[in-house]
Amino acid sequence: ETGVTQSPTHLIKTRGQQVTLRCSSQSGHNTVSWYQQALGQGPQFIFQYYREEENGRGNFPPRFSGLQFPNYSSELNVNALELDDSALYLCASSLALAGYNEQFFGPGTRLTVL
């Protein structure tokens, strides 16, 4: 059983650019959640995907968007990058069962916006 993987590990972009981050969920998991973790802070929920549909969104602007594919892998896209978007982006996968869905996190993608 493989765990959650994310790519790339690190990324440097300039303000105004667009970025795509990728996540492969743990085997058998059908739900993917994305979190942003700023330096020295706890992870903040961006959105969640369940069976290829967005299933909940945190307080992030529309320039943060995502996709989930039939194999349950997922992408996070951020348009018009701002300096404050610099953070560790975490993907977490889970198996959505009623009342219980422990989340397993990937190692994250460190995004730096210059």
Partner 1 sequence: QQQVKQSPQSLIVQKGGISIINCAYENTAFDYFPWYQQFPGKGPALLIAIRPDVSEKKEGRFTISFNKSAKQFSLHIMDSQPGDSATYFCAARWGNTPLVFGKGTRLSVIA
Query: Tokens at residue 30, please?
Result: 């059908």
Q: Tell me, residue by residue from 55 to 94, as one string, x for binding to partner 1 by CB under 8 A and - for no binding.
A: -x-x-------------------------------x-x--
Using CB under 8 A, which of 49, 68, 76, 108 touches partner 1? 108
Distance CA 105, CA 42 (A): 13
Report the C-alpha gap between 106 and 18 in whole angstroms: 22
Beta bridge partners of 11: 111
Task: Identify the bridge partners of residue 32 per DSSP, sorted by sequence position.
Answer: 49, 93
Assess 42 for contact with partner 1 (CB under 8 A): yes
Of 33, 36, 74, 93, the one binding partner 1 by CB under 8 A: 33
- For residue 71 the two structure tokens come to 């194999």
* Shortest separation between residue 99's beta carbon and partner 1, angstroms: 7
Task: Please answer whether residues 30 and 95 qualify as being in contact, where contact means their C-beta atoms are separated by less than 8 angstroms.
Answer: yes
Residues that bind partner 1 (CB under 8 A): 4, 33, 40-45, 48, 56, 58, 90, 92, 96, 98-99, 101-108
